[in-house]
Amino acid sequence: MVLERLLDVTDGFAVVAQDGNRRPGERHSHDRAQLLYAISGVISVTTDRGTWVVPPSRAVWLPADMEHETTGSSGVRFRSLLIETGRIPDPPGTCMVVEVTPLLRELIQKLVSIAEGGGGGAIAEAVVRLLVLELSFMPVRALNLPMPEHGGLARFCGRLRGDPASSLTVEDAAAALHMSRATFMRLFRRETGMSFGRWRQQARMLHALSLLAEGRNILDVALECGYESPSAFSAMFRRSLGQPPSAYFGHRPMQARVAKAFPAKVRNGFAQDDVQNENPKRGKRI
In DSSP notation, 13-41 reads EEEEEEES--PPPPPB--SSEEEEEEEES
Strands of 50-54's sheet in order across: 69-72, 43-47, 50-54, 144-146
Distance between CA atoms of residues 161 and 102, nearest Å: 33
Main-chain dihedrals φ then ψ at residue 220, nearest 5 degrees: -60, -40
Distance between CA atoms of residues 110 and 274, nearest Å: 41
Per the model's pLDDT, the better-predicted residue between 18 and 145 turns out to be 145
**Most distant CA atoms of the chain, gap in Å:** 67
Question: What per-residue confidence (pLDDT) applies to 8?
Answer: 67
Lowest mean pLDDT among 3-17, 133-147, 211-225: 3-17
When pLDDT is averaged across residues 137-151 and rounded to a whole number, the result is 81
Distance between CA atoms of residues 248 and 209, nearest Å: 9
CATH classification of 149-248, choosing from 1.10.10.10, 3.30.420.40, 1.10.10.60, 3.90.1170.50?
1.10.10.60
Q: At what angle do helices 151-162 and 181-192 cross, to 10 degrees?
A: 80
pTM over 0.75: no
Model confidence at 171: pLDDT above 50: yes
50, β-bridge pairs: 47, 146
Question: What per-residue confidence (pLDDT) applies to 19?
Answer: 65
Per the model's pLDDT, the better-predicted residue between 35 and 251 turns out to be 35
Helix (H, G, I), strand (E, B) or coil at 12: coil
Position 267 confidence tier, pLDDT thresholds 50, 70, 90: very low
Question: What per-residue confidence (pLDDT) applies to 84?
Answer: 86
Per the model's pLDDT, the better-predicted residue between 3 and 121 turns out to be 121
Closest CA to 226 of 250, 193, 203, 244: 203
Position 206 confidence tier, pLDDT thresholds 50, 70, 90: confident
Helix (H, G, I), strand (E, B) or coil at 53: strand
Closest CA to 197 of 104, 130, 90, 272: 272
When pLDDT is averaged across residues 201-217 and rounded to a whole number, the result is 86
Residue 213 near residue 21, CB atoms below 8 Å: no
Question: What per-residue confidence (pLDDT) applies to 115?
Answer: 81
When pLDDT is averaged across residues 266-272 and rounded to a whole number, the result is 37
When pLDDT is averaged across residues 12-19 and rounded to a whole number, the result is 75
Length of the chain: 286
Domains of the chain: which residue ranges? 3-141, 149-248
Distance between CA atoms of residues 284 and 127, nearest Å: 53
CATH superfamily name and code, 3-141: Jelly Rolls (2.60.120.10)
Residue 64 near residue 31, CB atoms below 8 Å: yes
